[in-house]
Structure formats: structure tokens, C-alpha cells
Amino acid sequence: MEEELDKNAERDMTPRLLEDLGMMFPVGKSIKKYRYGLYECQYCKKEFNSIIYSIKRKDTISCGCPKDRIIREQHLINISHGMTKHKFYKKWSQMLRRCANPKDAAYKDYGARGITVCEEWLDPKTFLDWCDLTFPNIEGHTLDRIDNDKGYYPENCRWTDRAMQSINQRMQKNNTSGFVGVYRDKNKNRWTTNIKINNISTHLGSFKTIEEAVLARDNYIIENNLPHKLSTDYKKAS
């Protein structure tokens, strides 16, 4: 994968014109016609329509496929921005690497799962400005995604301590129930459920059915006004 990205970055990846489609109205309310072409994306080989002028100006460089985005992210990582001494620059670099670089040790838990960095944060200055504006200046706080199944963008990111991040962890790979905090006790042939608060696990009970175990955990969260996600909000990792 890495070799493929490097080769793509070196050669001209301009979409290849397959057919001139003539003058057409673009999608929307535009009253002006543009000359369209049928193109082949050089990243994924998918065919797509685009305004020919947009391709020539390089406003459109692909069909919008993930491979193109990954290459641009990796390219940005290696650019010198003059911001490397900023206290949050390392966070920006690490964030992009684990989302875009298949050789990064954390890639399997981020980029491989479809976790990406939003377009505006590909610009380090925008990300660093957001950090300066939102960081609570409290020791031990680090960047955290509110929904671990979604990417890095302002509405899904916050600063939290390790205790809160432990609450927000995604479902463990060895989970077989499909619900966080719910496990099968093979010895008793029952479903057990627990919840972790401040890194201390609390047993909530043992039940005949998985539905009863899930309901017990969710009710405990609601009744005690805990910041945890409900078990039913999680999707089992594939």
C-alpha cells in the first residue's frame, strides 16, 4: 500500500478523459451550461462525470475516492509548515499518520477502520488554532473523539482526562454479545453486565437473556446520569 501511494504521488494522476459529453447543465439551479466529460479516476479507476474546465484547472483531481484523500494527507504530513515547535503540532502529525499511513502502528485502529481527518484540519494552522482556542489548560487532558466510530472534526472532538477516555473506549474485539459491557458467562449459562467508572468495574448483575442484561446496564446509566454511552448505542466492531 505504501509503495502504491508513493508511486501515485510521483506520476501524473490527472483523470483520463474517456468521452466528451458536450454542453450540459450542472446539477443544481445553474442557468449556465458547461462542457462535461466522462473521466476515469487514476486512483481507483472509477468512471465519473466532471466539467472539463474543472479538470484542466485541477480543481477536480479525482472522483473523490479515499485513495486520493490518503495521498493528500500523507503529502501534507511531510510538508514543512514552520509550525513544528507549536505544542500541539505533534498531536496534529500523529493524528494524520494513524489515519493515513498504513505503516503506522496505530493505523489498524484508525485509518483501517475508516477514521479520517476532516478537510479543514488537513491544514495544520486551522487545527492548531482550534487547539489554542479550546484547550482547557488542565494537566492530563488529551484530545478525544466523542464518537469513536467517527473521525476527527471539531464537532466530534474534545479535551478529556484518562478517566473520561476510558469511559469512551470502543467495544473490545473479544466481545461476543454485540453490546458493550455485556458478556456471556458460559459456566453459569447466563449473561452478565458491568460498567467501569473511574477505572473501577462495577458488576450490575447476571441475567437469563441478553436483552435483560442490556436493559439493566442502560437503566443504570440513565438513573445515575452517567456520561457513558448506552449499550444500544454501540455497534459491534466487524
Question: For 116-127, how does the pLDDT look when each residue is reduced to its tens digit (9 = 90+)?
Answer: 999 899 888 899
Q: Residue 85 above 80 pLDDT?
A: yes
Q: Using CA atoms, how far apart are residues 36 and 49, in angstroms rounded to an integer?
A: 7
Task: Give 9's pLDDT tier (boundaries 50, 70, 90).
Answer: very low
The pLDDT of residue 154:
94
Q: What angle do CA 91, 122, 139 make, to 5 degrees?
A: 20
CA distances from 163 to 95, 142, 238 (A): 21, 11, 26
**Is 124:97 a contact under the CB 8 Å cutoff?**
no
The pLDDT of residue 238:
38
Q: Where do the structural domains in the chain lie, given as residue ranges?
A: 2-64, 67-167, 182-233
Task: Give 226's pLDDT tier (boundaries 50, 70, 90).
Answer: confident
Q: Residue 197 above 60 pLDDT?
A: yes
Residue written as grid cell 454479545: 177
Q: What are the backbone dihedrals phi and psi of residue 16, each rounded to the nearest 5 degrees, phi first?
A: -90, 125
